[in-house]
Amino acid sequence: MTTALFEPLPLQPVGVIHSPFREKFGIPRQPGLLPDVPATLELLPPYDDPDCVRGLDGFSHLWLIFQFHAVSAGQWQPLVRPPRLGGNARMGVFASRSTHRPNSLGLSVVRLVKVETEEGVRLHISGADLLDGTPIFDIKPYLPYADAIAGAVAAYAAEAPAAKLHVAFTEQAREECERHKKTYGLDIALLIRRMLELDPRPAYHADSRRQYGFRLADYDVRWVVEGDRAEVLALVPVSPLK
Ligand code: SAH
């Protein structure tokens, strides 16, 4: 048996994601857990040519192949602790969707909302589990006849994770959400609710009563948990990270 000596594959991003998720913490662990979150995929030169996306608007969903660029390269281990197993049991990296993997490549299916080709090319998508600034290496149309497999088995991740926390907002947080919705049209309260219902805390924090925060759109969203109730304390405006 021979071992092929493959050349490294030089990859160049074809596009970049603009999303409200400004840090990893809090992002749902698969697309579709937040089907309505809007994001934009901006194609980069020389791929920002309308010819590259001709015919794409006839597809409702896309596969995106991307780099987990906010994970340090080379940090992968053969065994990982999938959050779905409570962070205790270990599974093979290739039996998981862990972000720490050889080649740091991710795969997400998203809904295609609109193809815009006025100036460059922008794909308006929804449901992406992607950090703002994620480099996209390939885009492929989702093919239901080939990609949707009825009766497929998914061991420890058979169902979407259930909501774990009830979510409440302080008056101040609710008002800030209303202001944001009026200005930008994004129902940020619903987004925060969905993110917190899934309980993004690391398993080993589950009992602590500390204050948490994540960057979402241009806010630092502050929240606490007591028992099975999360409370959003405030949305503190911050200048965009860049
Ligand atoms: N659907 C993808 C991603 C699963 S992991 C796949 O199966 O390959 C999902 C997690 O990736 C999110 O919770 C988020 O924290 C993390 N993530 C998203 N974009 C990232 C990026 N650019 N760099 C590092 N981590 C990222």
For residue 157 and ligand 1, the question of a CB distance below 6 A is answered with: no
Determine whether the shortest distance from the Cβ of 71 to ligand 1 is under 6 A: yes
Residue 33: domain span: 15-147
Same domain, 171 and 122: no
- Residue 87: the pLDDT is 80
For residue 66, give the ligand 1 atom closest to its CA. 22
CATH of the domain at 131: 2.40.30.70
Q: In this structure, are 185 and 217 located in the same domain?
A: yes
Of 99, 196, 215, best ligand 1 pocket probe by most atoms within 8 Å of the beta carbon = 99
Q: Which of the listed residues 95, 113, 147 is the one where a domain comes to its end?
A: 147
Range of 1-10, 80-89, 120-129 with top mean pLDDT: 120-129
DSSP letters spanning 137-194: EEEEE--HHHH--TT---GGG-SPPPP--EEEE-HHHHHHHHHHHHHH---HHHHHHH
Q: Is the CB of 170 under 6 A from ligand 1?
A: no
Ligand 1 pocket: which of 18, 19, 22, 24 to mutate (most atoms within 8 A of CB): 24
Task: Give me ligand 1 centre to Cα 49, in Å.
Answer: 27
For residue 157, tell me if it sits in a domain.
no
Contact (Cβ atoms closer than 8 angstroms) between residue 41 and residue 15: yes
Say if residues 108 and 66 touch (Cβ distance below 8 Å): yes
- How many CA atoms are closer than 13 Å to the CA of 62, on its beta-carbon side? 26
* The pLDDT value given to residue 109: 97
pLDDT at 205 over 80: no
Q: Confidence class of residue 222 from pLDDT cuts 50, 70 and 90?
A: very high
pLDDT of 241 over the 60 cut: no
**Does a structural domain hold residue 202?**
yes
Query: What pLDDT sits at residue 206?
Result: 65
pLDDT tens track for 107-161: 999 999 999 999 999 999 999 999 999 999 999 999 999 999 999 999 999 999 9
| DSSP label of 132 | T
Residue 43 in any domain: the answer is yes
Centroid of chain to Cα 90: 23
The string of pLDDT tens digits covering residues 18-56 is: 999 999 999 998 988 888 899 999 999 999 999 999 999
